């Protein structure tokens, strides 16, 4: 899929599309007027019921307050949305596109940015609620996998890789990748990771990469074809060691983080992981995990990033998409999203700089028994350049998924 996308983008970059449906976000009253009555088709991952319910709630609010209808188009892989936008450009559809807003980050954002297939730069910084964003304290809100966002996408939430375990079965979890490998040598079959290119599975690969590569500075730059094989050799040496001791001897993999969470709940594995520090608490609240589950991070830190929403170049409901993106940045929406009883997704806002009433929204949130406090999360390791994820996935598939 991603190879096909790259080939299509090579053909498209020669001609930059004219941006359709221009709306000036600096004139917010005009945006609100134009948005009323529009339907925003929000293409967002649909694999988590709590997230879907949160989007439904946001849709109810923007409908009541702004007359904007928000319709979630549930997707299982954002690369498919990228393919749709590419296909519409190739067909000359520069207006009336089928995607108004997309949940995105990483290589998918980089691909659309390179081909000028996103609404003109600068719109995110013009949103009224942009002033609430913690740009200084959370620099990944303006740098997506080392790629400057340039206002082409608006931050929605923060993420950091955390591991979970059931204290009823495991007293002390392994807190390094080496310790994990050693644990599985004496407890085979008790760990798994989702099959790449699933995002969570690929994130595990990147965690191995940042821990194993000889020169971590390389990861802030695009892949060098001349050194790639040597750079990733330690990654696959580690995986070759790990796989025989994985669940089902590494011959089958869970399909997503939800499957992995269920395996932890059912006692099939001892350790699972999530890209949401409050994910385990949220699952406990929903009855999906026992209340004996706790979370931990690896010594030295874990991968972290920001996820965003973006507007394609040919969005049909451009004004409505701006209204939705702005609402998602409000203290009201961000605090609700951070509540583990709702979703548990960390905020992109500078909470300390908010008005007192909004500070109280966040102060009132009970992070729950399985959520590490900010000071317990340890260092956040920056995402590698997006090209590393693409190449790692391709190499993983060639090594472990080929027939």
| pLDDT, tens only, 244-299 | 999 999 999 999 999 999 999 999 999 999 999 999 998 998 899 999 999 999 99
- As a whole number of angstroms, the distance between CA 131 and CA 204 comes to 34
Residue whose pair of structure tokens reads 């608006």 in the numeric block: 154
Arithmetic mean of pLDDT, 397-403: 84
Q: Is the CB of residue 354 less than 8 Å from the CB of residue 331?
A: yes
Of residues 41 and 381, the one with the higher pLDDT is 41
- Per the listing, tokens 């050799």 go with 233
Q: Write down the domain spans for the chain.
A: 2-157+307-367, 162-304+381-401
Q: What is the rounded average pLDDT of the residues 293-320?
A: 96
Domains 2-157+307-367 and 162-304+381-401 share a fold: yes
- Here the tokens at position 257 are 């983080």
pLDDT band with cut points at 50, 70 and 90 for residue 80: very high
| pLDDT score at 20 | 42
Q: What does the alpha-carbon distance between residue 103 and residue 86 come to, in Å, rounded to a whole number?
A: 16
12: confidence class by pLDDT, cuts 50, 70, 90: low
pLDDT in tens, 195-212: 999 989 999 999 999 999
If residue 70 lies in a helix (H) or strand (E), which one and from where to where?
strand 69-75
Instruction: Tokens for 368, please give them.
Output: 């729950």
Q: Are 264 and 273 in contact (CB under 8 A)?
A: no
**Residue located via tokens 């998602």:** 328
Looking at CATH, the fold of the domain delimited by 162-304+381-401 is given as D-Maltodextrin-Binding Protein; domain 2 (3.40.190)
Tens-place pLDDT, residues 217-231? 999 999 999 999 999
Tokens of 92: 């000359």
* Distance in angstroms (rounded) separating the CA atoms of residues 208 and 50: 29
Length of the chain: 403
Residue with tokens 């998924």: 401
Tens-place pLDDT, residues 92-117: 999 999 999 999 998 899 999 999 99
CATH architecture of the domain with range 2-157+307-367: 3-Layer(aba) Sandwich (3.40)
**306 pLDDT more than 80:** yes
The position carrying tokens 């796989």 is 243
How much is the pLDDT for 223? 96
């Amino acid at each position: 899929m991603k190879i096909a996308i790259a080939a299509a983008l090579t053909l498209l970059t020669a001609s930059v599309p004219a941006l359709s449906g221009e709306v000036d976000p600096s004139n917010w009253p005009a945006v609100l007027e134009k948005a009323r009555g529009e339907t925003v088709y929000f293409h967002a991952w649909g694999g988590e019921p709590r997230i879907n319910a949160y989007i439904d709630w946001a849709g109810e609010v923007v409908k009541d307050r702004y007359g904007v209808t928000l319709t979630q188009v549930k997707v299982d892989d954002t690369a498919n949305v990228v393919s749709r936008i590419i296909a519409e450009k190739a067909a000359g559809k520069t207006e009336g596109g089928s995607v108004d807003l997309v949940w995105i980050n990483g290589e998918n954002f980089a691909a659309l940015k390179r081909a000028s297939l996103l609404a003109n730069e600068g719109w995110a910084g013009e949103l009224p609620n942009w002033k609430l964003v913690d740009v200084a304290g959370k620099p990944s809100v303006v740098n997506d996998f080392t790629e400057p966002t340039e206002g082409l996408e608006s931050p929605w939430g923060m993420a950091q890789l955390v591991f979970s375990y059931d204290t009823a079965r495991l007293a002390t979890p392994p807190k390094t990748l080496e310790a994990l490998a050693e644990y599985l040598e004496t407890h085979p079959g008790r760990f798994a990771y989702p099959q790449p290119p699933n995002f969570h599975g690929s994130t595990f690969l990147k965690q191995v990469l940042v821990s194993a590569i000889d020169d971590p500075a390389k990861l802030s730059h695009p892949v060098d074809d001349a050194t790639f094989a040597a750079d990733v050799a330690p990654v696959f040496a580690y995986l070759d060691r790990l796989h025989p001791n994985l669940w089902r001897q590494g011959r089958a993999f869970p399909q997503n983080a939800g499957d992995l969470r269920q395996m932890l709940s059912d006692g099939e594995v001892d350790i699972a992981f999530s890209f949401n520090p409050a994910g385990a608490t949220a699952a406990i609240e929903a009855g999906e995990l026992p209340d004996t589950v706790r979370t931990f991070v690896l010594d030295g830190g874990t991968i972290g990033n920001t996820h965003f929403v973006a507007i394609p170049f040919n969005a049909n409901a451009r004004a409505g998409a701006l209204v939705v993106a702005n609402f998602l940045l409000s203290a009201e929406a961000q605090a609700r999203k951070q509540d583990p009883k709702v979703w548990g997704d960390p905020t992109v806002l500078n909470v300390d700089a908010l008005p007192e009433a909004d500070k109280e929204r966040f102060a009132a949130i009970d992070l729950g028994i399985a959520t590490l406090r900010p000071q317990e999360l340890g260092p956040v390791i920056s995402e590698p350049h997006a090209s590393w994820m693409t190449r790692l996935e391709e190499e993983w598939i060639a090594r472990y998924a080929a027939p």
